Structure 1
């Protein structure tokens, strides 16, 4: 299944973890045939995903050692960004759970 590249990157809740992985792989692939415009769209999607509500969930799947270094890196950066800039989105129980997971 191909995820459409949308110019409305605010609608990012429709991306599954698999979709996000594909976007990361497409964006970072040295053999990618994407146009400059397509690469810019993917970059915008990836940037917005890092600050989305779903960034509390998908990064954990990407930190698995079986994932590529690009996937792991994106997961780690997304999680770091959420913790450093959006920790207030979580209640006390969620924060305790987060730090337990770390």
Structure 2
């Protein structure tokens, strides 16, 4: 899914794609650090076998393990906003997380 709008407020640039949003600077850092774009990360939400759960360490955040459009099993951290899902981080899943995904277990 291609981003559909860019919203600038002060020094923060937020990119929107459908019901998803993210901080553009955070997305660049995430790509450098983890090798995953937020555009790819949002495709994991379309995986019918994706598993998600509240983040057990950070109240208000959720984790999702799902297969991306590029065929990679990703671990995505996000927040639910009033009208959107805000992506926080995304990376390739660890071996343990991948096993949870393959076995259909709780993501947290």
Q: Shorter-normalised TM-score: what interval?
A: under 0.3
The structure carrying a bigger helix percent of its residues is 1
Q: TM-score, normalised by structure 1?
A: 0.28
TM-score of the aligned structures, taking structure 2 as reference length: 0.27
